[in-house]
């Protein structure tokens, strides 16, 4: 690790902190979600984590139609609209400059932001409050996103701070790390939660915007470091759930020496509301896999002596 570049004054952009998580690694964990991701997965459940900047969040159901935000917007990006539930506002994202002046005028919380800056010490002060839970359960801190390695300087400094205080650190990653410093974020983890979204490079580009070649290469490289790896496999109907995809995934994973298990992550639309809050259309309309189908997929991995778990 290049310690010259990482300090406790380094700032990171965080869009969520979840306390008491049981699905992001071993034991009870606090999960920190860093903003910014190189992929654009069609089924992404955290769209607010994609861009590496704070973003305006608008929850229409909280708007009381006071229109005070219109008065303070310097870009004329907010307009009054009539909806079935009364007078609301509409935000023109193309005009919005993310000055966030409208947030200060909104007393109902309808306007807010995704993304808050923390120094390493400020963020550590948040996660250290759960220290007793980590120690009693064998848990720790998980850094996810977005993609944790996008903010590599901050992530490395935060990992160092946690380890100095004997906190177990897991990193949840898509595996698409271009720079060596970004790769080092993964290499410093005590546990890796590694996403795999298909074995076919062209399909991967279609579904995520990037090829999977670097992701697979990084997985093999990390496997040599003897860091326990939990593979997270999003099962998206018509995209990642074919027998051919599952078999090829199992064949790849059967060669890993550091593999702990595979988490089968069924399709869901829990993040759909966040698309609306960002003014983005959610384009998928799919049904989750049946329990029978999930069992069949688990059976394929079982044929390769790979342990699976439904969910995280």
pLDDT at 214: 98
pLDDT at 104: 97
- What percent of the chain is modeled with pLDDT above 90? 96
Domain boundaries, the chain: 11-52+116-310, 55-113
Give the number of other Cβ atoms within 10 Å of residue 85's Cβ: 10
Within 8 A by CB and 6+ apart from 209, the residues are 39, 40
Same fold, 11-52+116-310 and 55-113: no
pLDDT at 3: 39
The Cα 264–Cα 260 span in angstroms is 13
Residue corresponding to tokens 């992929």:
39
- In this structure, the dihedral spanned by the alpha carbons of residues 207, 208, 214 and 217, taken in order and rounded to 10 degrees, is -60
Residue 4 has pLDDT above 90, yes or no: no
Residue 1 has pLDDT above 60, yes or no: no
One of 3.30.70.20, 3.90.1300.10, 3.40.50.620, 3.30.540.10 is the CATH number of 55-113, namely 3.30.70.20
Residues, the chain: 312
Residue 169 has pLDDT above 50, yes or no: yes
- In this structure, the dihedral spanned by the alpha carbons of residues 232, 184, 225 and 311, taken in order and rounded to 10 degrees, is -10
Say which residue, 30 or 9, is predicted with more confidence.
30
DSSP character at residue 194: E
Question: Residue 272 has which token pair?
Answer: 């759909």
pLDDT at 7: 60
pLDDT at 65: 97
Tell the CATH topology of 11-52+116-310. TIM Barrel (3.20.20)
Per-residue model confidence as pLDDT tens digits over 278-311: 999 999 999 999 999 999 999 999 999 999 999 8
Element at 145 (helix H, strand E): strand 140-145
């Amino acid at each position: 690790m290049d310690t010259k570049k990482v300090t406790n004054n380094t700032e990171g952009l965080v869009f969520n902190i979840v306390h008491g998580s049981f699905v992001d690694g071993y034991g009870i964990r606090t999960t920190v979600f860093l903003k910014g991701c190189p992929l654009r997965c069609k089924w992404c459940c955290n769209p607010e984590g994609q861009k590496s900047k704070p973003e305006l969040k608008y929850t229409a159901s909280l708007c009381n139609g006071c229109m005070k935000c219109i008065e303070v917007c310097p870009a004329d990006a907010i307009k009054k609209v009539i909806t079935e539930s009364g007078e609301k506002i509409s935000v023109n994202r193309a005009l919005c400059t993310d000055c966030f002046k409208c947030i200060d005028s909104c007393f109902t919380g309808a306007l807010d932001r995704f993304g808050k800056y923390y120094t390493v010490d400020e963020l550590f002060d948040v996660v250290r409050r759960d220290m007793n839970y980590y120690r009693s359960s064998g848990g720790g801190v998980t850094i996810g996103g977005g993609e944790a390695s996008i903010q590599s300087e901050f992530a490395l400094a935060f990992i160092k701070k946690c380890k100095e205080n004997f906190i177990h650190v897991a990193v949840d990653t898509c595996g698409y790390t271009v720079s060596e410093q970004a790769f080092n974020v993964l290499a410093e983890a005590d546990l890796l939660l590694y996403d795999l979204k298909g074995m076919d490079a062209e399909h991967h580009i279609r579904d995520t915007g990037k090829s999977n070649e670097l992701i697979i290469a990084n997985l093999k490289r990390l496997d040599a470091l003897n860091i326990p790896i939990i593979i997270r496999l999003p099962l998206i109907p018509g995209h990642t759930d074919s027998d051919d995809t599952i078999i090829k995934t199992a064949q790849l994973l059967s060669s890993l020496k550091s593999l702990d298990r595979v988490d089968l992550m069924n399709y869901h639309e829990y993040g759909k509301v966040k698309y609306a809050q960002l003014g983005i259309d959610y384009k998928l309309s799919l049904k989750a896999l049946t329990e029978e189908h999930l069992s069949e997929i688990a059976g394929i991995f079982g044929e390769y002596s790979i342990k699976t778990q439904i969910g995280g």
